[in-house]
């Protein structure tokens, strides 16, 4: 177990440095943030003075080494536009993004479990097939189409829910539904596949021969054992959901870290982009590592393999 945790921590550090390195060079190829910030009316002397003040006049290699040292000290500097500490700004926006992502994951899981179980236990009935078809349709539709369509239908046409924002629970309904559609079909298919496999096991046949109720067999003996692989999938899909949350926040004007990253990228605000990606990577990789460790407790075979 100790080796597993240490290996996951090492992987976390390597992933953080690798992603940050790629990001460092990519965003500097996007253009000069100083000229964009000061506008066309600024003189060349004013632009050069600000570039020198921010350390952007140095060579790319010198900037990289300097920024790498600062990242190791968790110092990403200040926003070029607003002057706030970039890392503090990213952390302040993270809470909203996590609320959106976790709510969407819970909704997807709560809907996928009954859909997958029904689709496996009563797979020949039309109701089960219809439920699966609806979830597949939700996954086939992209977020940039689903979100605006929900706004047009439920906010503009019927005026049932707010168009944008994150102030009240009613503001969360449309973005959570939009984001949950990304994961719902995938989880439902996996629950169905695992349930089909579990229902063919010998202990299920034994339970049937004892005369146990069908509902008891499915829910107590079947669903509980089918949930173990789903834990791993949830951890693996968390990163995809965080990425999809960036677009969802932009559609519904939610003040999360994704909306912050998009605006910072458009303004070429290097410190904010680097701090935001660092925080997202830390959360995603940390969640995956935590899921791996938790899975080793659920399934002792994983723990023994890690120890070997």
The string of pLDDT tens digits covering residues 39-85 is 666 677 777 777 777 777 788 888 888 888 888 888 888 888 888 89
- The answer to whether residue 113 sits within a structural domain is yes
- The answer to whether residue 51 sits within a structural domain is no
- The answer to whether residue 28 sits within a structural domain is no
User: Which CATH number belongs to the domain containing residue 94 in this structure?
Assistant: 1.10.3720.10
Range of the domain at 196: 86-307
- The answer to whether residue 52 sits within a structural domain is no
Domain count, the chain: 1
- Quote the CA–CA distance of 128 and 135 in Å, as a whole number: 11
Please state, rounded to an integer, the average pLDDT across all residues of the chain: 81
pTM higher than 0.85? no
- The answer to whether residue 117 sits within a structural domain is yes
Percent of the chain with pLDDT over 90: 14
């Amino acid at each position: 177990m100790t080796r597993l945790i240490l290996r996951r921590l090492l992987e976390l550090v390597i992933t953080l440095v690798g992603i940050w390195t790629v990001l460092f060079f990519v965003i500097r190829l996007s253009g000069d943030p100083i000229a964009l910030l000061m506008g066309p009316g600024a003189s060349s002397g004013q632009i050069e003075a600000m570039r020198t003040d921010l350390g952007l006049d140095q060579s790319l290699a010198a900037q990289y080494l300097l920024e790498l040292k600062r990242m190791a000290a968790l110092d990403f500097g200040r926003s070029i536009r607003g002057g706030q500490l970039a890392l503090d700004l990213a952390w302040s926006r993270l809470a909203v993004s996590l609320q959106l992502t976790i709510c969407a994951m819970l909704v997807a899981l709560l809907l996928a479990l009954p859909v997958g179980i029904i689709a496996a236990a009563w797979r020949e009935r039309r109701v089960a097939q219809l439920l699966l078809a609806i979830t597949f349709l939700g996954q086939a539709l992209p977020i940039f189409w689903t979100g605006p369509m929900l706004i047009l239908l439920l906010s503009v046409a019927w005026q049932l829910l707010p168009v944008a924002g994150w102030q009240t629970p009613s503001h969360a309904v449309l973005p959570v539904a939009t984001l949950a559609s990304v994961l719902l079909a995938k989880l439902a298919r996996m629950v169905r596949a695992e349930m089909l496999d579990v229902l063919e096991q010998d202990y299920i046949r034994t339970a049937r021969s004892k005369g146990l109720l069908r509902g008891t067999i499915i829910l107590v003996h079947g669903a509980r054992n089918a949930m173990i692989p789903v834990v791993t999938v949830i951890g693996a899909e968390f990163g995809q959901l965080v990425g999809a949350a960036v677009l969802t926040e932009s559609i519904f004007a939610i003040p999360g870290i994704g909306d912050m990253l998009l605006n910072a990228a458009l303004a070429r605000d290097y410190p904010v982009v680097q701090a935001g990606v660092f925080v997202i990577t830390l959360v995603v990789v940390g969640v995956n590592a935590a899921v791996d460790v938790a899975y080793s407790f659920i399934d002792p075979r994983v723990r023994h393999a890690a120890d070997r």
